[in-house]
Chains A and B, each alone.
Chain A
Amino acid sequence: MCVRCLEAVMVNAIKAVEGERTSSSVYHLLKGKKSAQTIQDAHLYQLTKWFHTAPFLTLSSFETMMNGLIKKAYITGDLQRPFVTQEGVENMNRLFQQTGSFNELSGWQFSGTASVFFSRLQLLVQVASHLTYGDSSYYPVTRDDRILEWVKRFLTYMPCSKKELSPRLYSELDCLFRQLPEQPECIVIRFSGHKQTGKTIAQAAERLEMEETEYWFRFLHALHSMIKNITESMSGTPLLQAVVMDIHDPVTLTISARQTADHLKKAMTIDQIAASRRLKKATIEDHIVELALNDPSFSIRPFIEEEKEAAVIEAARLVSNRQLKPLKEKLPDHSYFQIRLVLAKESGKSV
């Protein structure tokens, strides 16, 4: 009896939390729930890899699968207190031996980014393909206006001519695919272009002769690996870097802000970071505000002294709305950046 890949992932996560959490904590983890509890659990039980990797689940489909696993005796107990059996562990291991253990998957870091990245990439490939073949009448592969608008802007401001787009995309993708931990077909099969249409997830799985959830996790794995390589190596894939960098993941952060955080940890100043990343100082300041808003452990002290922080809080109490201008008038010695930073830190606390 073969387990589906998703079931093995569930067993893996239940194993980590058994005796301490209910099965629904695993459901929330796979679904990527934005609650402090779920995020803490993900880190506490070292399950960040699977965070938000099965957004298609519904509570009822999850529970049906859980009950199936209990019936197969891979899991004992009940949904409230599930434990993984020896047989469950063996079957899970057998499956992961077949599929690999998805080493470069990182749901916590990339899941929010990955879906937007892939939608943009799909559309960009489609546009590039049709441009090259001189074919201007086709239906776009997405109806999401934000993606359509983004690609339109990208085409206007991209650092190459429309003629160069296709070969450059090819070489950047080629470069990434050579380092991919999965077969690149699992990505390419989903692309639409001139005279060919991408496959749906179900079709891709069938074509590659895989069980559907196995395909899904392999596809995500490949995608996360691409994003990691794009963002870590600062050269080599400039076009794709532009595709990824400004994606804002509501749960975590923009990748660009996270890189700023890494630089800050190395005790670099704002000016140094701006210089080394070749970004504007204001952009780095935006990142720092974003970090203050999202990361409760982020200290704003390097950028503002205690008394000045207190002054902003005091002034904000007196000015009821959150407009910056009246605050700035009350605080002539503060920069706008410092005021925004304190406000961000304060509202981060109340989330």
Chain B
Amino acid sequence: MQILPIFAALRRHKLVMWLLILEIALTCAIVCNSMFLIAQNLQRMHMPSGIAEHELVQIQMAYIGTRPDSGARTQADLAALRQIPGVTQVALVDKLPFGSGNNSNIKLKPDQPQPSMNAGLYFGENLLPTFGVKLIAGRSFAPEEFVTLDQALQGINDNSPNDLPHVAIVTQAMAQRLWPVQNALGKTFYIGKDIPLRVVGVLARLTRPNTLQAGPAFSFVVPISENLSDGGGSYVVRSKPQDRARVLRDAVAKLKAIDPNRVVLAHRTYDEARAAFFQADQSMAGTLVGVCVVLLVVTALGIGGLASFWVAQRRKQIGIRRAIGATRGDILRYFQTENFLIVSFGIAIGMLLAFVLNAVLMKFYELPHLPLYYLPIGALALWGLGQLAVLGPALRAAAVPPVVATRSV
């Protein structure tokens, strides 16, 4: 296949060729960046939480007001939930990964002006076994280490260290961030008004409730127990995945039976809670997929349209080539090669544009760099698209009979 005649022919259609190249370049730039954004969203949506996601259901309770018996009510609820067949663990927690919740600034020294890091704060009795998080070093909390939330708040108000928790369990990621080379066990860090917490255990992974951009795996657990008067807490019930639907139904019924006047704000499996948290990411990904499809279709239409125009315009020349010995395959390959050259040129410019667009997006939307491997993927996609779009017109060109050459228009 000789390429030079193709260039010679293209030189006579500079204008249309450049428009085609520009179109392919812009498509390449936008599709590469959109694919990158989609991949980013998917990555976020599939972030591990570190908990036994498929075994948990969440029942969020309304604030019941300050009542003297709220601790006892909580214990009664927990005991009732534990009796549901199939339930293995139960806890009242104030937050779960991928929801709403608090974050704390962490300091390594009491009067450090700037915090060392920021991490998600979890508490609730029996939280670790219910969540099913893996302890990879140290120990779990001892029962006597727990204080109630009321007690802890009072402790902060009165500055009385005895009412405050003294220990914490941190995630591996947080331990490595605070003490990169040393063993975290036994070390102390400070939160809030310089409250010291000694690390007694390290977790494999526990994703923070939110503010994922500040490091998703940074979180810690403190021995504070919740009760219904603390507001917004959720009962988390663990069972086998196949039992979840029944357990959820029974649990809500049981809670209503204990106190018909209470208000359940939300009840769902953890999978549903997680999906709700990532809804915005999902819809963004959906929109971008739609945009990519539209772009690729339009570009294919453009390539196909111009190719069929060129075929019609060169009908006579094709006939002459056929008459002097070119095979159908030669004609087919001529148009395919021409398309390949134009698309390649478009891709080359498109890659530069893709990086420019990425730089702009990085500036305004806090995105990371476009990884290099998107470029060959984008190039392959466009080459494929170009060949597909040109196939019809090229086959029509190949079908031009040699006798055309002998006819005058």
- The answer on A and B forming one complex is no
Query: What is B's interface to A at a CB cutoff of 8 Å?
Result: none
Which A residues form the contact surface with B (CB < 8 A)?
none
